[in-house]
Structure 1
Amino acid sequence: MAFVGNGTPELEADEDIFEDALETISGPFRTEMAASKPQLASLDTKQASGQQRSSKVSRSPATKMDLKYGLEECEVALKLFLNNKFKDALELLQPWAKENMYHALGYSTIVVLQAIMTFEQQDIQNGISAMRDALQTCQKYRKKNTVVESFSSLISRGSLEQMTEEEMHAEICYAECLLQKAALTFVQDENMINFIKGGLKIRTSYNIYKECLSILHILQKNKVEQQFFHEFEGGVKLGIGAFNLMLSLLPARIIRLLEFIGFSGNRELGLQQLHEGASGRSIRSPLCCLTLLSFHTYISLILGTGEVNVVEAESLLAPFLQQFPNGSLMLFYHARIELLKGNVEEAQEVFRKCISVQEEWKQFHHLCYWELMWINIFLQNWMKAYYYSDLLFKESKWSKATAAYLKAAILSMLPEEELEETKENVVTLFRQVESLKQRIAGKSIPTEKFAVRKSRRYSASLPAPVKLVLPALEMMYIWNGFPTISKREDLSENLLLTVEKAEATLQNQNCSDYLMDDECLLKLLKGCCLKNLHRPLQAELCFNHVIQSEKLLKFDHYLVPFTLFELAYLYKTQGEMDKAFKTLETARNNYKDYSMESRLHFRIQAALQLWKKPSSH
């Protein structure tokens, strides 16, 4: 566990940390959290994976919808969901959603997922309404004066005996509903009050999970027998594991602030709890697996160093693929793993299959469009990358500003004759970016702020736009794409050629205010290519050029701290750990108020954790 630090962090300087975490988790991959919230069925369930049953078939008029039947029906609904039968899953759960806690949780979760995928205000309102009903349903089953509500931190044997098994499950379901309600509260509108309300819901959920963990320990210590003990245990391990894992990702100064109000995060504990939950036999076991998959295949890349445990991800996914070979979520993770292994072409095919297997939720396709866009950027197939960026720009509402910027950035990479074929106006697109940015709790999203800043070179107030240099590759760097292509020497070589060509072109251009910034950007990109190609001395020369040019930069001040991170990684690969940690500390402590600052702090925290250097306070 981390320890409470002395002093009060500067709240304004830390706001982007929360925003970037929210954006990354709920951005182009929003469904990874939301889709996994429905209570997932155990892999050894009694029903066959393809089996469907409607509420009319499954229930007799005398059926009592108690805890047992609630768990069984959620098991069936989950199988429907994972087999792309979204509507059938809703129809199964909806009739009892106001009567049974697990029906309420499952039904509202699917409605919330739909809201997060469409990002339509009406769908968000529907999700909030459904989750409000779910909380009320769970509340019916909760003990009236719970330990959490009475602010007691001690659970005695006597108070445990007064809680029924049903009441224990109600606490877990209530905590999960609170988390989802908080997620929707964050994106409901720009009101800071909603941001605070969401934070309070998360804190309440966290406290409930901690109390449930205490209950679990007492049950185990006293060997109390319960019919559905393994289900309660699975819920506790999922909640404690996910909270600890996610909190451990946060930079040190944010952890200190959170500890002051009662939060703490331990990565080892989080991973252990999730692994134990995944190996159990509860309906939440697969959800523990999916949480780990999300961490290994996505979060470790975007908010980490790019060092991904692909072997573990494959072993986690294998039983899912066997049971749900055409499930969109399973295919998506399968494609992600293939991509991280360097099997770019295979990943492309699986993403296309993921699109073809279902039409019920079109928004699910946007996940695949996003990935296919990046794959074609890696391959430098600019027309195909443009095709997918255009689909995202027209259809997705996740982040219009980011989509517009990416589309314009990709078009900037096209030869003049191919650009003319698209009939697109790049300058107009760049000028649109600022008007499209969104706000969460009154604050702009970090990648949108980055896109807006870069687009100002095309402002209508300027005499003539100074074209951005390799903007698509710069965004690829921001999204940490270089570790992905490091498995493919041919792709790194081709990118190096593109960067060197841009260097030659820049040298022949007229001097501008952006010249040094553009030169340093190209050196950073070139250094990353050389690092991938195992040419460390040349890579170090490129990185040092950027660092030594610090005082000459006028706009892209983010380049120096990010370059220091790349240099630290280079030292680490060469076994120079002391130099690596010293360079990380320099990047973390000596720079502030630059673009994408929070994302770099996430990566530094991940490096300190992964490379086994305690974070200093």
Structure 2
Amino acid sequence: MSEQKIEEITNVLKKVVGISSEDRELNKKKFIPHPPSEDSRRIDPGKSAANLIEITKGDVVLNTLSPREQERADEAVIKGLEHLFDNEFMAAKAIFEEKANCDPLHALALSSMAFLKAVMTSADQDQTMALNALNTTYDIANTQLEAAKMSSKITGYFSGYYNYLKKKETDTPVPVSTPRESGDYPPNSVLRAHVLKAECCLQIAILQLLQESVMGYVKCGLNLRRAYSSYSYIWSEYQKMGADHLTFMDSDTISGVQFGIGSVHLVLSALPAKILKAVSAFGWKPDKQLGFILLNQCAESKRVRSSMATVMLMAYYTAVISFAPQILSDVYKKTAMGILLDAQRHHPNSTLYLFFAGRMARNGLDLPLSAQSFLYAAETSRGEWAEVAFSNACKFEMAINHMITGNWSQAASSFDYLCDQEYWSPAFCKYAQGACYEMMGERTAAILIFANVPNLVIKKLGGRLSDIDSFVLRKVTMFQKSGYQNLDFYAPMLEFMCIWNLFPYVGADLLKVALGRIERNLSTIQKVEQLEQEQRMKELAPDTPLPDYFDERASLLVVKSSILNVLGLPDETTLDINWVLDHKECILQDTWTVPYALWEAGIACWTLDLKNKSRQIWEMALDHGKHDFEHRLAVRLNLALTLAEELGYTDEAKTEPVDDKKRYSVALDAPTTITPTLSS
């Protein structure tokens, strides 16, 4: 896609989010032509029952519809999905609820609404609601499948008995069953039930994957195996049918096959190497290109899973770009924008697509357009199901945009609101609010806010803390250990922006301001160390421990190297990264700094066009475990290593010139600097 095409897409997106209030009122009366206010928008207790999604299994009967009859019966679900992506959420919900207790496709469509809400909020109650709905849907599909098996046994029995009687009357051999054109394949109802069972497992696996925990990844792998069992069976039958597949399968089941198998391949391709090794034993090797092909075919078919295929593609592209924007933005940005443009042609005011438009605009460094998209997405969800889920998700993304633009006051206000709403991690939102005040220089306010963080930490996921809660609790504990006297040794917000890879979206001027702050903090540590050394020169102090600011300095140096990489100064990161690697045994609290330093070393080599060296360094980073955000980094490393492999940078790849290696002393053949990392 040419740059002119990208500009055309951007103009269309601007036209969509810039539509006037009058036009919006004409297009859809219920839209409110003003951005959402800063006032908190809590859930109205009167609406809570309507917002719930509950599926109660009813009488599930044998499905005897032919493929064409099934397609006509499924038209109601397609109509409901059109309502869903036109923001008429309650209308969609009403359609799906009509047969959700007995038809697995209606139940899955309703469960998918709960799934989307759970992904947007990450709230425990929404995840529980989605998992309950998906498990009930699985049960309904499985019951229909068992009914088909029982029917097949009964039919076979009577057929055999009838042939036995005929044989006795005529004393001539009679075949057990008369061959039929479709006799070589399972009934369409059986294939349909398998597809719907598999997608329930797939959606459950994705919810568990987003937990970013060891247990979540294990459960994700198990549910992918359950999905695989059904998908592999359908896929083999689908391939046997060849060009005649439409004769024996309804279009919506085919749409489900394309969506499911395509999604599984994309999910597998994004899993960290350790988890992938554990789940790959069940037979599927991730094929990312096949995943793209099948999901695109599903999206183009305009059948029952087409919109979900578009959502899956957009979610994948926006997620992988945000994980490693410096190397993956150019790879996926144009394709993602093309898919988004096509989706918005059919649903120009879709809240979900506007949300993705905001993410894509940020990936394209158009922050004003990103802000407009998020504001309009929140607006279009007003007065409808999942209003709070969408508005809070958009509020969080706006808070990220405020951070990127250095608007700390607005960011603090947004995080305060999100903490009050208990969005994602209230402890993190409170921590981020305090970090914003620290960036504004309001130390007293920041300390008072940080002091509230431990009270908001909640144990979950089997009685353990989530990665983000564990991180902010430990950081605040470190602040409290010195009575908040050592806050000048830290840069809490810049540290988070480094871990979340947000610096590539920040303007050069603001990056230089941030770099100046890091340098001042490093200078402060150095001055304190000098004072302590001078004190030791004047008097004996055998019982006084030596200065220990390894964790603080390591964190600042990793942040500094990240900023320098984004500013296009990779040569200047060498000394800082080597200091972190040389002192890794002394870093006891912020252990994330060592593998993240290796990530930045790989980025520096990539920028210097030493891509084979980047691959080698990133593989070293994978050897580090049990640190903060281990799984987030593992996904990032997997995506980067996959790209390096696709570009041909493997063990057999040609090595770079010796002079280039000398330019970057963290290279693998520099034993004096890299040896400390080999023992990990």
TM-score band, normalised by shorter chain: 0.7 to 0.9
Separation in 2 of the partners of 1:349 and 1:121? 29
Q: CA deviation at 1:162?
A: 4.9
Q: For residue 131 of structure 1, what is the aligned residue in structure 2?
A: 134
Q: Which runs of 5 or more structure 1 residues have no equivalent in the other structure?
A: 1-48, 53-63, 151-156
Q: For residue 108 of structure 2, what is the aligned residue in structure 1?
A: 105
Separation in 2 of the partners of 1:538 and 1:273? 44
1:78-118: per-residue Cα shift (whole Å, max 9, x none)?
A: 12111222111111221221233321211232244445656
Q: For residue 352 of structure 2, what is the aligned residue in structure 1?
A: 329
Aligned AA for 2:354?
L
CA gap 1:312/1:146 in 2 versus in 1, 3 angstroms: farther
Separation in 2 of the partners of 1:225 and 1:322? 28
Q: For residue 202 of structure 2, what is the aligned residue in structure 1?
A: 179
Counterparts of residues 508-527 of structure 1 (less than 5 Å): 508-509=527-528, 515-527=549-561
1:523-551: per-residue Cα shift (whole Å, max 9, x none)?
A: 22222222212222223333233333434
1:27-53: per-residue Cα shift (whole Å, max 9, x none)?
A: xxxxxxxxxxxxxxxxxxxxxx9899x
CA gap 1:216/1:379 in 2 versus in 1, 3 angstroms: same
Paired positions, count: 537
TM-score by length of 1: 0.77
TM-score by length of 2: 0.71
1:426-467: per-residue Cα shift (whole Å, max 9, x none)?
A: 3453453375133213443222222222121134x6555532
Aligned AA for 1:466?
N
Give the conservation status (yes or no) of the 8 Å contact 2:321–2:363: no
Q: CA deviation at 1:567?
A: 0.9
SS of equivalent to 1:96: coil
Aligned AA for 1:475?
F
Aligned AA for 2:459?
Q
Verify: 1:600 aligned to 2:603, yes or no: no
Q: CA deviation at 1:343?
A: 0.9
Aligned AA for 2:635?
F
CA gap 1:185/1:98 in 2 versus in 1, 3 angstroms: farther
Separation in 1 of the partners of 2:260 and 2:183? 20
CA gap 1:372/1:339 in 2 versus in 1, 3 angstroms: same
SS of equivalent to 1:440: coil
Counterparts of residues 61-460 of structure 1 (less than 5 Å): 67-114=70-117, 126-142=129-145, 144=147, 161-181=184-204, 200-220=222-242, 223-226=244-247, 229-262=250-283, 264-302=285-323, 307-308=328-329, 309-359=332-382, 360=384, 361-416=387-442, 424=445, 426-427=447-448, 429-430=450-451, 432-433=453-454, 436-459=457-480
Separation in 2 of the partners of 1:556 and 1:379? 27
Q: CA deviation at 1:356?
A: 1.6
Separation in 2 of the partners of 1:335 and 1:601? 26
Separation in 2 of the partners of 1:209 and 1:233? 11
Q: For residue 563 of structure 1, what is the aligned residue in structure 2?
A: 597
SS of equivalent to 2:439: coil
CA gap 1:203/1:393 in 2 versus in 1, 3 angstroms: same
Counterparts of residues 473-484 of structure 1 (less than 5 Å): 473-484=494-505
Larger Rg: 2
Give the conservation status (yes or no) of the 8 Å contact 1:588–1:601: yes
Q: CA deviation at 1:200?
A: 4.4
Separation in 1 of the partners of 2:125 and 2:554? 45
CA gap 1:276/1:541 in 2 versus in 1, 3 angstroms: farther
Aligned AA for 1:576?
L
Q: CA deviation at 1:482?
A: 2.3
Give the conservation status (yes or no) of the 8 Å contact 1:431–1:456: no
Separation in 1 of the partners of 2:547 and 2:183? 69
Separation in 1 of the partners of 2:299 and 2:453? 46
Give the conservation status (yes or no) of the 8 Å contact 2:419–2:426: yes
Aligned AA for 1:295?
Y
Give the conservation status (yes or no) of the 8 Å contact 2:71–2:252: no
Aligned AA for 2:518?
V
CA gap 1:251/1:185 in 2 versus in 1, 3 angstroms: closer
Separation in 2 of the partners of 1:564 and 1:337? 28
Q: CA deviation at 1:325?
A: 2.2
Q: CA deviation at 1:144?
A: 4.8
